[in-house]
Amino acid sequence: MAERIRLAASPDSPGLARHFVADLLARWDYSHLIPDVVLMTSEIATNAVIHAGEPFSVGVEDLGSGVRVTVDDPIPDWPVLRQATPLDTSGRGLQIVDALASASGTTPNPGCGKSVWFEASA
């Protein structure tokens, strides 16, 4: 089972993505995954707003043993894992995803753009 939402590149979109994902996880009996999955979703949705600056979509797939969340945007540039210093006010999003996800990555989309994704195991 999979669900998808399309969002504008606006400041409220990461919040809408968080609510969308949390509602699905609760319906699919993955409530225990909500805190980590919502945090990771927020990070990659925020990256789409800041770095892609174009409408994007968030997809959530029930894998049976967890979930996969995908953020698709039309920009082909891949995200870069930064090493933020303690004084940096941003740049930790992919570090958070890398630390919490059971798997994560970026794949090209046919035609244009990319998918940034992560999986969380139940």
pLDDT at 11: 96
What does the pLDDT read at residue 111? 80
Superfamily holding 2-121: Histidine kinase-like ATPase, C-terminal domain (3.30.565.10)
Query: What confidence score (pLDDT) does residue 60 get?
Result: 98
Query: In one letter, which amino acid is 108?
Result: P
Q: Which candidate, 20, 22, 28, places its Cα nearest to that of 4?
A: 20
Weakly modelled stretches of the chain, pLDDT under 50: none
Closest CA to 69 of 9, 122, 119, 7: 119
